[in-house]
Structure formats: structure tokens, C-alpha cells
Structure 1
Amino acid sequence: MIVVHHLEHSRSQRILWLLEELGLPYEIKHYARDTKTRLAPPELRAVHPLGKSPVITDGTRVVAESGAIIEYLIDKAGDGPLMPPTAVDARQDYRYWMHYAEGSLMPLLVMKLLFGAVPAKAPFLVRPIARAIDKQVNAMYIGPSLARHVEALAAALEGKTWLVDERLTGADILMSFPMEALRARGGAAIPAVISAYVERFQSRAAYRKALERGGPYTIMR
């Protein structure tokens, strides 16, 4: 039996969505974030040495990292609608998004979150300095970089329903969390084509079922 070691408000929510899309039976072991640090609890280290989520167990096999988990589960399900494209160009596009999600887009969003959280956690006397650093980093690097990503993503989605092959694939599953985070943290600057894409996958029955089973899920700002 597949067990999803599921951390609340985390990227493992998309693994539940994938399993619902695939129709694979699974169980959930729930983990709550530390109320002070907002990090994963130490119990997850008993599953995988990094103590992070998502991670799944399938019998004696432990699989970590979102992209690896998504590929593993799609392969396990066998030939079906979420299998990677076979056409050369579409397969290369699929490979690009599978690397881009966590390799390029998500690090920027995490950086934006972390720098934004520093001023509130800093000692009172140094908060003005922390806010100034946050503002400067956003103005010089994070903001312009995210703007380029938003522009490229909007162009990639223009006229499309899904990212690759005109159907839902593992690339959309992997991209779902950073796209939700981008819309949550990007404000009014997010183009309508990106918001429509997020709303499209959020409206799927399998996505909604995964939310019911997964419990608390809010993109941290």
C-alpha cells in the first residue's frame, strides 16, 4: 500500500491530487508543522533522513522529492492519460517543466517568503534594517526575476488548457504548487491566463477530493 507522509500546508498536497487522478489506492499519515518554526516535525526523519515532505512509502520502498514521486507513481499506474508524451517535442517540453518547477521557479518563491518573514521575526530595534534589506533584495533581484518568470509563464500558457500535449500531465501536477504560490504572492500583477490555469486545475474533481482527504492547505505568504 502506498502511504503518503503528508505535511499540512505543503507541497505534498499535489501528490494526493496525483493519486486521486490516477485512481491508485493510498493511505495518508498526517503531520503538523511546528507551531513556532512552521517547519516539519522531527518525526518525518524516521521516514527519510532529510525529514521533509513530500515523501511516500510503498512497501519497503521510500521515495522522496516531488518530481521523483510523481514519475514513480505515474510509472506505477502504467499506461494511462497522465503518461509522459511520446512525441519528441512534447516530451522535451514535459521534461523542461518537470525540472523548471523546483529548479527555477520555486527557489525564487521560497526566497521571497523567507525575506518577507525576516522583519516580523527580527528584534524590534533592528526591524527597520530588516525591512530595508527585504525591500532592497526584492527591488534588485527577487521582483525583477519573478516578473520575467511571470511573463514567460503567461506566454507559455497563452491559448492552452494545459502545459504540454493539450492534456493534463505530471508537469501540471508538479507545477501546481509553485503556480498557486505565485498567484498567492504575486498580487494584482499576475496575468489572467495564469489565474485561469490555477482555477482550472483547482476545479477538477480529483483535486477537490485530495483537499478533502489532505486536510489544512493554505499557501503561506
Structure 2
Amino acid sequence: MSDDLRKLLLQVVDRLEKTYPDAHLELNYSNPFELLIATILAAQCTDAKVNQVTETLFKKYPDPAAFLAVDLAQLQEDIRALTFYRNKAKYIRACCELLVEKHGGKVPDRVEDLVKCPGVGRKTANIVLANAMGIPAIGVDTHTIRVPNRLGVVASKDPDEIERVLCDLLPRERWNRANILIQWHGRYTCTAKQPRCGECTVFDLCRWPDKESFS
């Protein structure tokens, strides 16, 4: 069974590469620290909205020390346009404190260390490792839950289980790119509501029983 699923998933990823050749992480960043902060800010918020805020935010606060030098009320005001801005500001401050105290102000390159930062779970940690550091990892967001379930590759809504299965089925060197492609497919074609099954390039491979209703 795992060989069949591996073959299916590789076929899907190959087709998605042709469908979305320009697929990329849509958060703007120039280094691992900026991506870490942007990903914390992106919780329950669109990447486009986060990019609007970080365009100014990263110029004002280029490193952990800069974030710690400003009072919490000002930081909350700086990110006020985003959802849950009060809590996110607290997470950012606490995260920066940990980076300075434990890692010399640098972003660690191990998921075990990253998840110790307030506001950082495995998804955020893996996104930073994969995209800002080039370390193989799969960050399981809502799209990475929905798409593999519809395809029939996984039968779980648990992010940790989905990460384990995808990592087991895919060659390590393809984790990062496959992750981005699956996310794009979920965002632009295999959407949560009204999926565009009639336009889907992996329609024939998909095992979702409801796909005919949207074709």
C-alpha cells in the first residue's frame, strides 16, 4: 500500500510542478529571522496582509534586539492591522528574548529549538527551516491537511501524522518543493469551499468521492 501511495504522491507532485512552475512561499522575507516573525504574524491572517505590515516593520526592527528595545504598546500599534495583534506582539517579544538569551540573537536550525519559541509550533518551525535555511522539512498548514486527504494519500486531520506520512512517502530532497506545490494547489484550485475540480490537473489521480460534484 505504501508503494502505491508513494507512486500516487510523486505523480501528483510532478504534475503540480508543471501546473505551478512559479509556486513560492508568498510571505516576504530576506533572512530566517524575518521569516520567523512573518510566520508568527501570519496566523489566521493572509500573507498579503502580513506583507503590507512587515514592509515597514522589518525596516524599523531589523533584529531581535530592536524588537526588545521598543515597548509592547508601540509594537502592538505597529502590527495593529493584523488579527490578534496584541497576542502576536507578546509572542514576538518573548520569542526575541529567547533568541537573544539562548541563541545569541540567531534563529536556530533545529525544529526542537524553534518550537521552544513562544508562538512557534512545528508548522512555523518547518516553514522557516525549509524556506529560509534550505533544510528539508514539511510545514503542515490547512492546505497540506486538505489536499492529501482529498487525494487519498492520508486519512487523518492530525498535522503531526500528516507530516510523518508525507515525509515517509516523499524523497527527502523533494520535501520542500512538494510542500509549496501542495499549498499552492490548495490555495488556488483545491480550495476548501467550491474547489475548481473541473480545472484540476490531478483530477484523474484524485480519490475524493465528492470531486464529480465540482467538476
Superposition TM-score, scaled by structure 2 size: 0.28
**Which structure would you say has the larger RCO, counting Cα contacts within 8 Å and 6 or more residues apart?**
1
